[in-house]
């Protein structure tokens, strides 16, 4: 019963980002719009709670997820491999000496919501690296996508512990934006659990649940000590370094992150020699990157994922992280 509730809860908590972004960006709405997220079906999720994250979920392994929101004229298809990753195929755990392995972390932007698996920026970057670079000691590049819809920073770290660490990556690329800092996923899911139970049992009408959902979201958002949330997510950032000691590149899209959050990331990079952060790595052209079919949605379309991959390719090549011609 608990697992069902956890999975049901996920389908509603993702909607949080819609409301959250409206409030975060209310003074920018005319130029930036708002972030919206389409829920993933609970049948496509598995509950794998961790010691510190009671409501942690992941995509269900060996499934195909089809997504057709009302505002898009096409259906996207995501193939989930046996390790619960949105991938075209399986990756061997053992890495050959001539393979350079990258892991991408993040939420729906990294996962690739609204685009086919082959078109998310991780897959496009993998193809670019393999087709455009000739490297002395590297025969193959792999970019393994660990992104999941709705994750905050703490959830992404747990995802790496559960799924990514065993692949022994040479580099991690992590795309972060405003709501990844602002919303503590596990707390909000816990707050909503009693109401989820009442809705499941029929004690609470869907319309009444929706009102409570919004009220609880406002209560969570308007909490006076916003610094507590930033401290929580900052601690999660540092926790990653206990499980990973190689290069970490943090990227963002400038239009959808706050100055305070940029400062947190700069401080984090400045205090860790293996962490690279530059808020200008990805171009600040939200119209070119985002889903232009619905202008109030920032999720990258197919073209947007290509542009993100292209900017990443240029950055990685310029940094000379691998010896190539």
Task: Single out the residue of 51, 79, 61, 256 nearest to residue 157, CA to CA.
Answer: 51
Question: The CATH number of 2-59+79-319 is which of 3.40.605.10, 3.40.50.1370, 3.40.50.1110, 3.40.50.720?
Answer: 3.40.50.1110
CB-based contact 122:147 (threshold 8 Å): yes
Question: How far apart, in whole angstroms, are the C-alpha atoms of residue 256 and residue 32?
Answer: 8
Segment 97-121 shows an average pLDDT of: 96
Assign 28 a pLDDT band (cuts: 50, 70, 90).
very low
At residue 29, the pLDDT reads: 35
The helix/strand count (H/E) of the chain reads as 13, 9
Give the H or E element holding residue 288: helix 286-289
Q: What is the pTM of this model?
A: 0.83
Report the DSSP pairing between strands 140-145 and 247-251.
unpaired
Sign of CA dihedral 23, 104, 64, 42: negative
CB-based contact 50:58 (threshold 8 Å): no
Give the CB-side neighbour count of residue 88, counting CA atoms within 13 A. 14
- Domain residue spans in the chain? 2-59+79-319
Which pair of tokens denotes residue 105?
A: 């972390």
Question: How far apart, in whole angstroms, are the C-alpha atoms of residue 285 and residue 289?
Answer: 6
Question: How far apart, in whole angstroms, are the C-alpha atoms of residue 67 and residue 119?
Answer: 14
Report the DSSP pairing between strands 99-105 and 76-80.
unpaired
Assign 31 a pLDDT band (cuts: 50, 70, 90).
very low
Assign 305 a pLDDT band (cuts: 50, 70, 90).
very high
Q: List, for residues 129-169, the tens digit of each pLDDT value.
A: 999 998 888 999 999 999 999 899 999 999 999 999 999 99
Which pair of tokens denotes residue 259?
A: 């100055």
DSSP labels, 146-168: ---TT--HHHHHHHIIIIIGGG-
Neighbours of 295 (CB within 10 A): 13
């Amino acid at each position: 019963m608990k697992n069902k509730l956890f999975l049901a809860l996920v389908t509603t908590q993702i909607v949080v980002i819609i409301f959250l972004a409206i409030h975060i960006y209310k003074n920018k709405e005319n130029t930036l719009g708002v972030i919206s997220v389409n829920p993933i079906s609970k049948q496509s999720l598995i509950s794998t709670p961790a010691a510190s994250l009671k409501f942690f979920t992941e995509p269900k392994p060996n499934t195909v997820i089809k997504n057709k929101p009302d505002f898009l004229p096409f259906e996207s298809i995501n193939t989930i491999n046996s390790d619960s990753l949105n991938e075209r195929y399986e990756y061997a755990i053992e890495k050959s000496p001539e393979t350079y392995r990258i892991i991408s972390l993040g939420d729906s932007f990294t996962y690739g919501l609204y685009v086919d698996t082959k078109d998310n920026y991780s897959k496009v970057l993998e193809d670019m690296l393999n087709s455009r670079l000739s490297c002395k000691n590297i025969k193959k590049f792999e970019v393994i996508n660990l992104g999941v819809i709705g994750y905050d920073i703490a959830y992404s770290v747990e995802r790496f512990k559960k799924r990514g660490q065993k692949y022994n990556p040479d580099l991690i690329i992590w795309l972060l934006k405003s709501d990844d800092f602002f919303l503590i996923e596990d707390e909000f899911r816990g707050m909503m659990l009693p109401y989820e139970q009442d809705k499941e049992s029929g004690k609470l009408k869907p319309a009444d649940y929706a009102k409570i959902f919004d009220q609880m979201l406002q209560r969570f958002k308007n909490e006076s000590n916003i610094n507590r949330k930033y401290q929580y997510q900052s601690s999660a950032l540092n926790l990653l370094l206990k499980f990973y000691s190689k290069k970490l590149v943090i990227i963002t899209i400038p239009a959808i992150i706050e100055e305070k959050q940029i400062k947190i990331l700069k401080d984090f990079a400045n205090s860790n020699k293996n962490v690279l952060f530059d808020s200008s790595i990805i171009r600040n052209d939200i119209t070119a990157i985002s889903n232009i079919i619905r202008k109030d949605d920032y999720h990258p379309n197919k073209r947007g994922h290509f542009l993100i991959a292209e900017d990443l390719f240029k950055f990685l090549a310029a940094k000379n992280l691998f010896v190539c011609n």
